[in-house]
Each structure stands twice: as C-alpha cells, then as structure tokens.
Amino acid sequence: MNYKQLGNTDMKISELSFGTWAIGSDWGDVSVENAKQAIHYAINQGVNFFDTADVYGMGKSEQILGEVLKERTERIYIATKFGRKDDFTNPNNYTYEKVKSYAQNSLKNLGVDSIDLYQIHCPSTEILEQLAVFDVLEKLQKEGLIRYYGVSVETDAQGEFVLNNTKASSLQVIVNMLRQKPVDQMIRLAEQKNIGVLARVPLASGLLTGKYTINSVFPENDHRNYNQNGEAFNVGETFGGLPFKKGIELVNQLEWIKEERISMPVAALKWVVQQKGITAAIPGFKNIKQVKSNLEVFNAKDYTDEELTRLKDFYWNEVHNHIRGDY
C-alpha cells in the first residue's frame, strides 16, 4: 500500500481508500455482513481511510463502520459528511446548534470521540459564499468534536472558492478518466495550497468497470436508475454527468487501457492515483470481490506520458461536451 499526506493534516492515508455510499443506500440491496467483511479485508491490506456520510442509509454506513472499528486495533481514519439530511440550501441548517447535533449523531453512529475529517456535503454555492458554516466548523474543531474539516463540492468554481477563502483541509471532487476537467485547475490549485483532494466517483458510477452495456438495467433503488438525468440530486453524481448510453459508447473506445493493467476498473483507478495533487481515490464497494479488484491498482503498469496525453486529448475532444450539470 502507498500512503500520502492528506494536505495540512496529520493523516497519512492509503492512496486507495474507500467510500461507503454503496453499502448504505442508493446502489441496490447490500448485505451488511458482506460489507463488514469487505471493510475488514481492506484494512488487512493496509487501507486506513474510509469516507462516509450521515445520509448514507440515514446512518447505516456510519454504523457499519463503527461496528468494524470496535473489532480493530489499527488507527483507521474516518471522514464523514453533513448537510444533506435537511434542506441543503437553507442557512438555518448550518447553524452551530444544528451542525453540532449532526456531528454528535455521527459520533454516536461511529462510536468514536472525535471525527477525523468532517465535510460539508455538497452545499449550495450560496451557503459556501456566506462563510458562516466555516466559523461553526472552527468552533467544533476547538471543542474537539472534529479534528479537521473539508468540503465535498459539485463544481470547480465551488472548489476554487473554498481553496481561496477558507481554512478547509480537504476537497472531495468528482474526477475520473471521463471527468478530467478538475485536474488542470482546481486540483492544481489545491496542490499549491497543500490541501488534500479525495477523488470520488473514480469509476464513473461503474461505467469504467466495462461490465455494462446499453441494455443494462439497474434496480429501482439504485441511483443509476432513478437519477440518470438528475431527477433526485446533481446529475454529476451519476455516471459523472454523462448520459448512460453515451458513456457506454465512450468506454468502448477505451478498451485499450486495460492492456497490461489487469482489468478495466483497475486501469481506470490507475489513471486517478497517477494524477498529481490527488491524495486518494475513494471508489465504492459492496463486497470483498470488488475491494480485491480495486486494490489490484498497485500491481498495474503506470501510464506513460504519451498515454496520459492521449487520454487527455480523448477527454477534451470526445467526452467533455457531453457532461451535464453545473460543473
């Protein structure tokens, strides 16, 4: 396992870490026991950082992580998020009392005394620009309820605002081979300011696994079914903002990346962890098989400079104009 310093924090985290949205909700049915076994397996392989949120299964994924933490002696870092349980555009949901209550509930679910990284969960631009929530987070940090704080952003403009106007220690960003725009500007700025970057949706909601076809159908309780066009939340969270069929067409043009790189998902994750300025990729998982597959990234061949240029050109010429949503 490779480890990187998470920005200006005291945490050195595994370059491949894991997100827990899939084991909480919105990705079809998942066995709690399978999820716990997968987390244990990841920790056994050196993974020391997991990202979650209070809204994933309304506490389910936090509780699963908390149960696993009770059974481990290693130092495992947990990042969780707040702000999506209630109206995320309402300033009244970002007051000291409200955010403290969110944090205390997450602490209870996780069974810990302090949250390692507490992130605002995709807030509106207006909430960010008011800056009041950052004063709240500073206060919670001084009180010891949280150790560091960051923001999960939807857009490059939001990310750059956070970098230029707050003391956040991290950004969580949608970035993958089919969503390269953040790399050259937002992520580069984060690197210059020594702010950690967590790459979410690194497999474009499964598009980059190569296992789907235009005829694939997702369960009704899977956001890849009910949010394909942004019906429930920002369309960028589903397939990175690409229309599903167009995404399949584009992935079919990327078959060459898996040569000497084990599999399509491994090749896609390899691209993410090779990007300067990204601290860790945080793919999701439902079972041990998926965790094992993702961890093969460390056995895969690096991309050459020529291949990286080819992929960058492919993105800007073939992909970028098809991405929907304010990004």
One DSSP character per residue, 144-157 reads TSEEEEEEE-SSHH
Largest CA distance in the chain: 53
Our CA angle for 208, 210, 215, nearest 5°, is 115
pLDDT of residue 138: 98
Distance CA 50, CA 65 (A): 8
Q: Where are the beta strands (DSSP E) in the chain?
A: 3-5, 12-14, 18-19, 49-51, 77-82, 115-121, 146-152, 170-174, 196-200, 280-281
pLDDT of residue 27: 66
Distance CA 266, CA 316 (A): 22
Contact 21, 28 (CB under 8 A): no
pLDDT of residue 28: 73
Phi first, then psi, for residue 271 (nearest 5°) are: -60, -40
pLDDT of residue 30: 81
Task: Name the pTM for this structure.
Answer: 0.94
Distance CA 38, CA 124 (A): 33
DSSP-based three-state secondary structure for 73: coil
Distance CA 276, CA 158 (A): 20
DSSP-based three-state secondary structure for 313: helix
Distance CA 260, CA 265 (A): 13
Regions of the chain short of the pLDDT cut 70: 27
Distance CA 173, CA 137 (A): 20
DSSP-based three-state secondary structure for 295: helix
pLDDT of residue 20: 95
